[in-house]
Amino acid sequence: MAQRVLEQMKSLEATRTAGGNGPRAPAGNGGGSGWSREEAAPAATVRVGLWFLLTAVTMLFIAFTVAYAARRTAPDWAPIALPPILWVNTGLLGASSATLEWARRRGRRGDAAGVRGGLTVTTLFGAAFLVGQIAAWRELAAAGVFMATSPHSAFFHLLTAVHGLHLLGGLGALGYALRRTAAPAPAGPVLGGEDLTSAVLGSVAIYWHFLTVLWLYVFFIIWS
């Protein structure tokens, strides 16, 4: 997953060299360098790919949900006591989305240092969330609740693990955005007048907020 996102970001980077042709602009019109393969991935294209990626991830979790709903009706279903630290983790992830938005706003004002600061804090919150999730697993283990203990704990471990893997990818994307935005100012508009910083941040933000919402969803079904 991490690679997928990273790659989309890489393609985005490529647009910088391509001189920012529109997605369907025929090559040769955009000046001398307009015929490289890199023109194939301007920001709008990355955005389209990103939405379809999210569709696929959504399907994955829909399948888990269906299984969860079906499995719950079995007679051996017994809820486990979920560790309270999950509330803290939820707060951390929510905060990370907020700081990411803050970073984007800084970016729109052209405040490069603000962008970097915001991204760094976001990454730290995200990493803290993952650490918190692992702490939750350990807390359960200390209480004698393991993956195979009950169907509820099996789903808890399954869903948090798969969500965590996607989040790991998100951290990679944040790291990439940090690196990208640290580079010198981009050459021209990429996405309908958007500059590179906001284009990169916009794509990363879509993915990151998606993961936040996904966690809220997972937390909700696993708690209720």
By CB under 8 A, residue 48 contacts another protein: yes
CB distance 83 to 139 below 8 Å: yes
The reply to whether 84 sits near another protein by the rule CB under 8 A is no
Token representation of residue 160 = 């948090």
By C-beta, is 103 or 136 nearer to another protein? 136
Q: Report how far residue 154's alpha carbon sits from residue 149's, in angstroms, rounded to the nearest whole number.
A: 7
What is the DSSP-derived secondary structure letter of residue 79? P
16 binds another protein (CB under 8 A): yes
CB–CB of 186/16 below 8 Å? yes
Q: Which amino acid, residue 121? A: V
Q: What six digits make up the tokens of 63?
A: 């399948």
Binding of another protein at residue 175 (CB under 8 A)? no
Question: Measured from the CB of residue 12, what is the shortest distance to another protein in angstroms?
Answer: 9
Rounded to a whole number of angstroms, the minimum distance from the CB of residue 58 to another protein is 8
113 lines the binding site for another protein (CB under 8 A): no
Distance between CA 20 and CA 193 in Å, rounded? 10
Residues lying near another protein in the complex (CB under 8 A) are found at 3-4, 7-8, 10-11, 13-14, 16-18, 23-24, 26-28, 33, 35-41, 44-45, 48-49, 52-53, 55-57, 59-64, 66-67, 70-71, 74-77, 147-148, 151, 154, 157-158, 162
